[in-house]
Structure 1
Amino acid sequence: MTDPIVIMKQQVGKAAAEYIESNSIIGLGTGSTTAYAIEHIGKRLQSGSLKNIIGITTSFQAEVLAKKYNIPLSTLDMVDHIDIAIDGADEVDPRKNLIKGGGAAHTQEKIVDSLAKKFIVVVDGNKIVDSLGSTVPVPVEVIPKALTPVMEKLKELGGNPDLRMGIRKAGPIVTDQGNLIIDTKFDYIDDPKSLETIINNIPGVLDNGLFVGVANLILIGEIVDNIPVVREF
């Protein structure tokens, strides 16, 4: 029997993919739930219910998946707009602000998601929090030579920074841009917008995982009475 969690993620991804219209440029995000959206977009193209789509990927993972499902791709310097983007999140607060970057792709994700006319976030119910930073740290992408001074600045801001290390590999995680990730835990984030700006103004920081005022629609997958359901806000 298929895991209800897997079915739920599939349904959330499918629900997001149904928002895609023909003749549009779409941002393709990163993560396990978004992967199902990419798969369903590919199936819609194959069936003919969707035509003339161009994808803009946010990571190497998304690029590999898009090619697997025969979604035509382009790059940001070849398009003049993005109609809709689909991506996941690690936390979502009641104002639709996000923490992203668990997959170390938040810099490219923020570029693509912020450019989209409509940004749809796909998550499971445990990603919904009362305030950002409750369950996950804020990922900060930093150029390698600036690692130590940036970590000191993050401490001054009240954060507890920790260099993200690889799993089943020696050494730190390296982003698609060749940089490092500092996961920074804050006891409480009362003003995500200000913190996002302050962190990004630290010399050596490329971008951080706070996404404030970017998301338009949140699709939430949940298990109710052992049945996967999708709700939105």
Structure 2
Amino acid sequence: MVEAASAKFVVVVDDTKLVSGLGGSGLAMPVEVVQFCWKYNLVRLQEIFKGEGCEAKLRVDGDGKPYVTDNSNYIVDLYFKTPIKDAGSAGKEISSLEGVVEHGLFLDMATDVIVAGKEGVTVQTK
């Protein structure tokens, strides 16, 4: 919510975070869901992205209990074996599911990206 209310959204990363497409990296893409229907949404999310070889898992804490966000919701982590074909459409489809609070695609939000690498620091501006 803070990002959406901000005039600028600056992202700082190292060059290992740069990818040609979203997904397929083996890292989790989080989807925050209300507790009431988390299992239903886990299955729906996995089904939506079966073409990308997606595996959906409920995030758990160190005790094996569901991780609870500061808004008392759960996180379903999506692991993609291949890149998402159309991130914009994917974001809209995820957001349209009842019980989904937010997703971790963060599309079109950054105004500037600062990238640190072996060759130094570069700044990319929208």
- 119, 129, 137: which is aligned to 2:28? 137
Question: Which residue number corresponds to residue 59 of structure 2?
Answer: 164
- C-alpha deviation, 1:153, in angstroms: 0.7
Matched, 1:215 2:110: yes
**Length-normalised TM-score, structure 1:** 0.48
Q: Output the CA distance in 1 between the equivalents of 2:117 and 2:68.
A: 32
Cα displacement (A) at 1:172: 2.1
For 2:57, give the aligned amino acid: D
Distance 2:112 2:34 in 1: 32
CA shift at 1:124, angstroms? 1.4
Task: Give the number of aligned pairs.
Answer: 118
The Cα shift of 1:223 comes to 3.7
Shift of 1:190: 1.4
**Structure 1 letter corresponding to 2:76:** I
* Separation of aligned partners in 2, 1:149 and 1:119: 33
* TM superposition shift of 1:165: 1.6
Which one has a larger percent helix, Structure 1 or Structure 2?
A: 1
Task: Kindly indicate whether residue 42 of structure 2 is the aligned counterpart of residue 151 of structure 1.
Answer: yes
Cα separation, 2, equivalents of 1:170 and 1:160: 18
Give the residue type in structure 2 aligned to 1:181.
I
Is 1:122 aligned to residue 16 of structure 2?
no
Say whether residues 1:230 and 2:114 are aligned partners.
no
Q: Distance in 2 between matches of 1:179 and 1:223?
A: 39
Other-structure match for 1:183: 77
1:19-168 equivalent positions in 2, closer than 5 A: 111-135=1-25, 136-158=27-49, 159-167=54-62
Q: List alignment gaps of at least 5 residues for structure 1.
A: 1-110
Deviation string 1:153-185 (CA, Å, 9 cap, x unpaired) is 112202310111223x34122111111110112
Q: Which residue of 2 aligns with 1:58?
A: none
Pick one of 94, 109, 114 that aligns with 1:199.
94
Q: CA deviation at 1:194?
A: 1.0
Q: In the alignment, residue 69 of structure 2 is paired with which amino acid? A: T
Read off the aligned partner of 2:37 and give its amino acid letter. A
Amino-acid identity (%): 32
Distance in structure 1 (CA, Å) of the matches to 2:45 and 2:64: 25
Higher relative contact order (CA 8 A, sep 6+): 2
Whichever residue aligns with residue 126 of structure 1, its letter is: T
Amino acid at match of 2:35: P
Aligned partner of residue 210 in structure 1, secondary structure: coil
Aligned residue identity for 2:86:
D
Letter of the 1:124 counterpart: D
